[in-house]
Structure 1
Amino acid sequence: MKRNIFTLMVLLWMGIIFWFSAQPADQSERMSLSVGHVAGLLFVDGYEDWPKERQEAFEEEIDHGVRKAAHFTEYAILGLLLTAMYRAYGHEGERLFLLAAGTGSLYAATDEFHQLFVQGRSCQITDWMIDTCGVAAGGAVMYLICRFAKQRRRRGQQSVKNT
């Protein structure tokens, strides 16, 4: 059952990534600028009182960073999910991490290729590298969580045996 759930979650998340990548450049830019606007509201004192032109300049100034952070984050989530899925299939240790990172990196490469066919978008090797780093980071976090949980279970079993 876990296998099916994690596999479905991976496929759904890949679909979400595909949907984001299928957005034409103008739509994608509007989306990331709106994230920049929310960031301004949340993190910049007095942002809501700024003139509209100053807000737009701020949003455009941070747009590149917002886009790169989005790439990293969406693929970090994929890395978490892939690691959980492969673990549910019985993989452990380095093999678990390598399978998740490899699968995620391959998906990132196909995603960048896909963008060649989307209006105003392009295939960027730097985006693939950021995506791959995100997958590796997410996979590493999930790997460490699984390892920590396994150690806790062992300690719990040992304390039960000692009583």
Structure 2
Amino acid sequence: MSGNKKWWMLAAMFWMLIIFLVTQLPYFTGERTASAINEVSGAGKGLIDELNFMIRKASHFSAFGILAFLFYKVMSNYRFAYFFAWVTAFLYAMSDEWHQSFMPDRMASFKDVLIDGGGAFLALVLTFLVSRWRKAVGS
């Protein structure tokens, strides 16, 4: 593995650790997020619930999009790198939800796995499009 790939692998492992810790820590429950939104905004219950939902799902979407991009950078020299990066991110999302099922005040949700997979997919599509655009501009 080249030196550059090692840095990408280290970044992917670090990001996986961050995801693991966020799942592990009790500070990131839906109730605590709603409480933080209430303190900052003072919005009504309905708006807090909507913001809480959007923030939590956007964090799932983006966290696993970043992870898929990092996996792609590690595997970019291989055939089907986009596919394997997505599968690896999706499998990690499944393991993260399973891990979350053991945490107090947390719930596992296959819906969240699908959101994670969607974020990974979108990140890889954007990576592909940017890569093609750069090749076209560079030609």
Please give the TM-score of this superposition, normalised by the length of structure 1. Answer: 0.73
Q: Do the aligned partners of 2:90 and 2:113 also contact (CA within 8 Å) in 1?
A: yes
Show the counterpart of 1:12.
14
Residue identity opposite 1:14 in structure 2: M
Moved more, 77-86 or 110-119: 77-86
Show the counterpart of 1:85.
74
SS of equivalent residue, structure 1 residue 119: coil
Q: Do the aligned partners of 1:33 and 1:60 also contact (CA within 8 Å) in 2?
A: no
Residue identity opposite 1:5 in structure 2: W
Residue identity opposite 2:29 in structure 1: S
CA RMSD of aligned residues (A): 2.2
Q: Do the aligned partners of 1:104 and 1:135 also contact (CA within 8 Å) in 2?
A: yes
> Are positions 1:123 and 2:125 aligned together?
no
Q: Do the aligned partners of 2:33 and 2:52 also contact (CA within 8 Å) in 1?
A: no
Show the counterpart of 1:28.
29
Aligned partner of 2:121 among 114, 136, 161: 136
Residues 1:28 and 1:128: Cα distance change in structure 2 (over 3 Å): same
Shift of 1:122: 1.7
Please give the TM-score of this superposition, normalised by the length of structure 2. Answer: 0.84
Show the counterpart of 2:65.
76
Q: Do the aligned partners of 1:83 and 1:143 also contact (CA within 8 Å) in 2?
A: no
* Sequence identity percentage: 27
Q: Do the aligned partners of 1:36 and 1:63 also contact (CA within 8 Å) in 2?
A: no
Show the counterpart of 2:131.
146
Residue identity opposite 1:113 in structure 2: W
Q: String of CA shifts for 1:64-123, please: whole Å, max 9, x gaps.
A: 221111111111111221222211xx125xx12101110000000000000111111121
Between the aligned partners of 2:35 and 2:123, the Cα distance in structure 1 is 25
Residues 1:70 and 1:96: Cα distance change in structure 2 (over 3 Å): same
Q: Do the aligned partners of 1:35 and 1:66 also contact (CA within 8 Å) in 2?
A: no
Shift of 1:149: 2.3
Between the aligned partners of 2:125 and 2:85, the Cα distance in structure 1 is 9
Between the aligned partners of 1:6 and 1:143, the Cα distance in structure 2 is 17
